Amino acid sequence: MLNGKKIVVVLPAYNASKTLEKTYHEIPLEFVDEVVLVDDASRDDTAEVARKLGIHTIVHEKNKGYGGNQKTCYRTALSLGADIVVMLHPDYQYTPRLITAVSAMIAFGEFDAVLASRILGIGALKGGMPLYKYIANRILTLVENLLLGHKLSEYHTGYRAFSREVLERLPLDENSDDFVFDNQMLAQIVWADFRIGEVSCPTKYFPEASSINFRRSVKYGFGVLGTALQFRMAKMGLLSPAIFKFR
């Protein structure tokens, strides 16, 4: 716990057996109350590795997609009584050592959500991010900042922390089950006027780290633009998308 807040780390996993143990052993378990892994019908032994490590493990019988995986992650964390939920990819691309930092920013009441940004500082390209992905990240982030009327260094990190209130309020079931889920979630957080903080996070790109291919990246990019346009049109009263209808 931090400041009396229960911290649950969720790991949305797909074919992560080669990197899971290394990721898990760097999680600061002296502060984290529980670790949950959701295996999205992996073709390897991710679930077996997770169970051997003592991780609370849930397995989807059929692949539900990256967004569908996260929906299960957050429902489970809330059912376990989490006050703060940290979502971390188990592919060892992001350092788990920042869990304490991102959690503290919420635990002590400064922010409602915190992003570990690859763009702050010089971590992205130095860590091996492909140049085309870096350029696309910067262009998409510029457009989103303009359309959402917000300012973030990036909207595409796979390392995030949320307060319980954020997860309870957002209509997450209305979001996509694909990769654009992450982006829709941030648009919802901005819509609801939650406070978003960022920390600089080093990143590593290597063969075992998960990464979507060029075709899926293009699809994701169009999804991101679509979400930002929906947000702006909803603010103008021209649309009423379900993803911006809050409880």
pLDDT per position as a tens digit, 31-43: 999 999 999 999 9
As given in the structure block, the two tokens for residue 187 are 């648009």
Among the listed residues 123, 94, 129, 120, the one whose alpha carbon sits nearest the alpha carbon of residue 205: 129
Residue identified by tokens 């409880």 is: 247
What's the full length of the chain, in residues? 247
How far apart are the C-alpha atoms of 91 and 115, rounded to whole Å?
17
CATH of span 7-244: 3.90.550.10
**156-165, 207-216, 233-242: which has the minimum mean pLDDT?**
207-216
Instruction: State which H helix or E strand residue 35 sits in.
Output: strand 34-39
Residue 210 burial class via C-beta count within 10 angstroms: exposed 0-12, middle 13-18, buried 19 and up: middle
How far apart are the C-alpha atoms of 7 and 66, rounded to whole Å?
22
As given in the structure block, the two tokens for residue 208 are 């075992």
The pLDDT value recorded for residue 216 is: 83
pLDDT in tens, 64-121: 999 999 999 999 999 999 999 999 999 999 999 999 999 999 999 999 999 999 888 7
Say which residues have a Cβ less than 8 Å from residue 222's Cβ, sequence separation at least 6: none
Q: Where residue 207 falls among pLDDT bands split at 50, 70, 90?
A: low
Say which residues have a Cβ less than 8 Å from residue 170's Cβ, sequence separation at least 6: 185, 188, 189, 192, 246
How many helices (DSSP H) and strands (DSSP E) are in the chain?
9, 7
The pLDDT value recorded for residue 217 is: 85
Helix, strand, coil percentages in the chain from 3-state DSSP, rounded to 5: 45, 15, 40
* Average per-residue pLDDT for the chain: 93
Among the listed residues 181, 27, 156, 175, the one whose alpha carbon sits nearest the alpha carbon of residue 90: 27
Amino acid, single-letter form, for residue 35: V
- Model confidence at 211: pLDDT above 70: no
pTM: 0.93
Q: In this prediction, what percent of the chain has a pLDDT beyond 70?
A: 96
- Model confidence at 210: pLDDT above 90: no
Query: Residue 41: left if φ>0, alpha if ψ -120 to 50, beta else—which one?
Result: left
